[in-house]
Structures are given as structure tokens and as C-alpha cells.
Structure 1
């Protein structure tokens, strides 16, 4: 039986994207209430800093693990856990909006497992790129590298559609170009942190991973490899 079309004013949101959004916002809600002393009392004021130190991604710790060949679980978790802790309520809100908007569009094209894979792989790759090209002691935190991975997947979808229509595929990169342009301007004018490097890493990871995890992706790759070998 065919699923009847949705005629409501708002298109349904994939439940796994809603769940991801609620986790992000739920953690931030607790930290925001603690910042204001509403929960946790006097100790609650320090919850955010403690969470950042415990779950934020540290380039220094990354290089320590790499150089010593030691990878304890309490530090490996940082490759993912940093995405769920933010600096402020606004920081978390914008990340959540990105996840909702892009997650819905990518989810409709890719499905649940592939969409979540893009978010997680982009999160990990963003952290690695940040450690390699930025380094230092400043912690990386927030869901933006994962959200930019979803932007990369969405760009892949646009890139394919423009190619099928015979139009210039470079237009698919207009969104990421605009977002990175804004970030670079703010970084230059206000000497802000270089978190945008992790965002670029997340975007590239999301775009490249889409070639494999999109519907029929592996089949397309194998066909191209066979054509080259013939």
C-alpha cells in the first residue's frame, strides 16, 4: 500500500532528527538553568565549565594519544561528546536549528542510518582537522562540525540534481560559500576562535561520505571502478 501524501501545514520531521535536536537542547537547558542558579545551587554555576573540560575536544590530548599510542576511552569519547556541549544558549540554539533544517532535508534523501552516519563522521573528522591545523589548548565544542557535515550531504544532493538538469553544479556550493564567508569575516574583524576550521572539515567529510552512503552510492562507486579497470 502506498503511504498517503501529507497534507498538513507542516511537513513531518524525521523522529531521529527530533531526538538528536532534543538531546542537544535538553543538555543546554540543564546547563543554562544551572548558570542562573535555578538548579544545582551554588555548584550548578560551574556545571558548564566542568562539562566542557570533561567532554570538550582537546587538541593537546589528541596529540598526546597519537604520540604515545595510548587511547583511553575517557578521551576517545571526546571525538563525539564535544558536539553535545555548547558555550551559550544561543550557540546551542543555532546549532539545533541547523540540525533540524538540514537533517530533515538530508534524511528525506538518505534515510536514518546514512544521515546519522554523516553527522557522526563529520563530527569526528571536524575534531581531527581542528587538532591538525589549529592545535593549541583551546577546546573545541558544539554541534557545528556535525551540522556542517549535513550541509555537505545537502550540497551533494543539490550537486547531483543540478548535474541531472544539465546546470552548473558549482551552484550547489553557494550555501557553504556564504556561511564560511560570514565566519571568516567575523574571525578577521573580531579575532575570534578558529572553530571554522573544524566546520570546513565537517563539511568536506559530509560531502565525500555522501558518495558512499547515499542511496545506491556504493553501487555507483563500484561501477565507476569497474569502468576504469575495463
Structure 2
């Protein structure tokens, strides 16, 4: 029997994952199911009234409730709305944009840091996005969507890229330019949507992702 070389003793490499992991599909599936129900009710397929507005009343993030200017609709809403808002969307296009980021970028990140830490980043980014919206916005309307969580993944990815470049002695300008492009895109969308963009939630989610990428979610 001949001795094996160190290369021979290395464990076999795992094949690259073909698609997004199951936990991301579950999250997107829940959001999709909710949007399907709300859209069908809004179209009059079932029920006498649309369920969208009641869903927003109970599940969206409300700055007046956060600030105490308005009483919550039910006990615990002041806390639960920090998460429930992320599962509601204004239509299939809104849902699709967030879902693409969650599935594509979430797949790459979960391969690097694992499912548990990816889920934690998504949770904290959603909470951080809501908190930032609550402190910076004075609007009375509902805030909905998983974009705060999605921007958490973007912030985490950019933090990892920034750290890699610093450690390798590479220029960090590409990362800084990407961040500036992200800011410019938010400004343009805010103007295009006549102020209908919750940039505060994007900012809060991104900050959480960036800080996570330099702490517990480091690759």
C-alpha cells in the first residue's frame, strides 16, 4: 500500500448549487402567496371587498404608529410591523424586483456565510430598514416591501468586496463607485416615483448589511 499525497487526502469538492436555497424560496413563496391573494381579492375574484387595504392596515409599517401619533390597530402592532411590512407589496412588479435580489444575491451570500447568518442578516436588515424609515420619514402612509432586507444583502456584499480589496491591497474605488451609483439610482427613482420610494428603508437595510459584513457575517 502506497502512502497518499496531501492532495489525495483532501475532501472532494461540493458541486456548485444550481439554484437558490430552499429557505429563500420559502420566503419568496410566502410573499408571492400573499400578493396573489391580495391581487385576486382586489380584482373581485372572491370576496365583496379588496383585502389589500386591510392587509396594509394590519401589516404595513406606519410611521404615525411608530411615533405614537396614532394608536396601533391591535396589541403588538408597534413591534410586529417591523417585520410584517416586508411580506407585503404593492403589486407583482414590486414583488418581482425584490424577489430577484433575494434569490440571486441571497444564493451567493448563503454559499459564503450559510443559511442561518443569511436569515439573520435579512431579519436585521428588515428591522433596520423599518427603524430608519420611522426616524427619518414624516409621511403618514403605509410603508411596505422587502427592499429593506434586499438592500441588507447588497450592503453585505459590498462590505465583503470592500474588505477583500483592502486585504489584497487592491483599490477600493470600484466599491465606492458602486455605492455612489446605488445612491444615484435611489435619487432617480425617488424623483421618477414622485416621492413614492421608501429610500429610508433602503438606507437602513444597507447600513445593517454593511455592518454585518464587517462583523458576524464576515466571509
TM-score category by the smaller chain? 0.7 to 0.9
Counterpart in 1 of 2:43? 36
Alignment of 1:49 with 2:53, yes or no, is: yes
- Structure 1 residue corresponding to 2:198, chosen from 195, 200, 222: 195
Deviations 1:71-104 (A, max 9, x none): 9423310000000001111111111111111111
Counterpart in 1 of 2:31? 24
In the alignment, is the contact (CA less than 8 A) between 1:151 and 1:176 conserved in 2? no
Q: Distance in 2 between matches of 1:183 and 1:105?
A: 24
Alignment of 1:99 with 2:84, yes or no, is: no
The structure with more radius of gyration: 2
> TM-score, normalization: structure 2?
0.85
Instruction: Within 5 Å, give how 1:46-195 maps onto structure 2.
Output: 46-64=50-68, 72-195=75-198
- Is there any run of 5+ residues in structure 2 with no aligned partner, and where? 1-9
In the alignment, is the contact (CA less than 8 A) between 2:189 and 2:197 conserved in 1? no
Query: By how many angstroms is 1:157 displaced?
Result: 1.6
In the alignment, is the contact (CA less than 8 A) between 1:121 and 1:205 conserved in 2? yes
Other structure's SS at 1:33 match: helix
Query: By how many angstroms is 1:192 displaced?
Result: 2.1
Q: Distance in 2 between matches of 1:15 and 1:2?
A: 25
Query: By how many angstroms is 1:16 displaced?
Result: 1.3
Query: By how many angstroms is 1:35 displaced?
Result: 2.1
Alignment of 1:209 with 2:212, yes or no, is: yes
Q: Segments of 4+ in structure 1 off by > 6 A?
A: none
Cα RMSD, aligned residues only: 2.4
Relative to 1, partners in 2 of residues 1:181 and 1:81: Cα closer, same or farther, differing over 3 Å?
same
In the alignment, is the contact (CA less than 8 A) between 1:110 and 1:213 conserved in 2? no
- Structure 1 residue corresponding to 2:22, chosen from 9, 15, 39: 15
Query: By how many angstroms is 1:190 displaced?
Result: 4.5
* Higher alpha-carbon deviation: 13-22 or 53-62: 13-22
